[in-house]
């Protein structure tokens, strides 16, 4: 079975924290690849809140171009209407029955996955890799993982990563204020943002 990691999100914009998380998943769980999948319009947001999918996909492609085991999927961007994780996973499993999927999420997401649309169908189609950001959160994450396993049969593994205090919303705010985001955003992505005057 091929082992494929999935990094989903709006990537508005993609940043170094996303890349570090994907690299950690590759190394710790011996994945064959990680697919970055910018969302279409998440049902929790309106289209006005995020840049067009094509632009977010172009930024993502620039960010991952130097890592041969990273790839881009525009599957969700090309869907009409809202996108849902459970639908994406079910489609991928149908199209690639010889692949095991590992859905990579930040620590905070694990505490909200019960609120996502059809969580039982998400957990039925992937193993969740949840980032541990600091030793003090590990016990909380382990407890939440047990709850989700008991309730949904979820397979959850903890992903050991360095604490990274980066958020796309903070990057957008800083760019809008004319501040530098060079530490948080890959150089090629930052050049793209500056040339197009995004987030200003």
Nearest to 3 by CA among 60, 69, 67, 68: 69
- What are the structure tokens assigned to 177, written together? 């204020």
Nearest to 8 by CA among 105, 145, 127: 105
Task: Say if 37 falls within a structural domain.
Answer: yes
Task: Say if 158 falls within a structural domain.
Answer: yes
pLDDT tens by residue, 71-121 = 999 999 998 878 899 999 999 999 999 999 999 998 889 999 999 999 999
Task: Say if 66 falls within a structural domain.
Answer: yes
Task: Say if 83 falls within a structural domain.
Answer: yes
CATH of the domain at 153: 3.40.50.620
Number of domains in the chain: 1
pLDDT value for 114: 94
Predicted TM-score of the model (pTM):
0.93
132 — pLDDT class (breaks 50, 70, 90): confident
Task: Say if 81 falls within a structural domain.
Answer: yes
pLDDT value for 43: 61
Task: Say if 195 falls within a structural domain.
Answer: no
Task: Say if 156 falls within a structural domain.
Answer: yes
Gap between the Cα atoms of 140 and 120, Å rounded: 21
pLDDT tens by residue, 133-182 = 666 578 899 999 999 999 999 999 999 887 777 899 999 999 999 999 99
Q: What's the half-sphere exposure (Cβ side, CA atoms, 13 Å) at 3?
A: 13
45 — pLDDT class (breaks 50, 70, 90): low
Residue-number span of the structural domain to which 74 is assigned: 2-166
Task: Say if 196 falls within a structural domain.
Answer: no
pLDDT value for 47: 55
């Amino acid at each position: 079975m091929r082992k494929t990691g999935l990094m989903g999100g709006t990537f508005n914009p993609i940043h170094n924290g996303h890349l570090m998380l994907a690299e950690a998943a590759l190394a710790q769980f011996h994945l064959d690849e990680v697919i970055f999948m910018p969302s279409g319009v998440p049902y929790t947001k309106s289209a006005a809140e995020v840049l067009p999918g094509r632009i977010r996909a172009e930024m993502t492609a620039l960010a991952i171009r130097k890592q041969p085991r990273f790839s881009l999927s525009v599957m969700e961007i090309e869907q009409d209407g809202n996108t849902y994780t459970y639908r994406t996973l079910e489609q991928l499993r149908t199209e690639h029955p010889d692949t095991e999927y590992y859905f990579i999420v930040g620590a905070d997401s694990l505490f909200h996955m019960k609120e996502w649309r059809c969580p039982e169908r998400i957990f039925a189609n992937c193993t969740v890799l949840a980032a541990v950001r600091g030793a003090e959160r590990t016990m909380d994450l382990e407890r939440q993982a047990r709850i989700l396993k008991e309730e949904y049969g979820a397979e959850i593994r903890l992903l050991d990563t360095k604490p990274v205090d980066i958020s796309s919303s903070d990057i957008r705010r800083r760019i809008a204020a004319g501040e530098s985001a060079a530490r948080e955003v890959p150089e090629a992505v930052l050049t793209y943002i500056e040339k197009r005057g995004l987030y200003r």
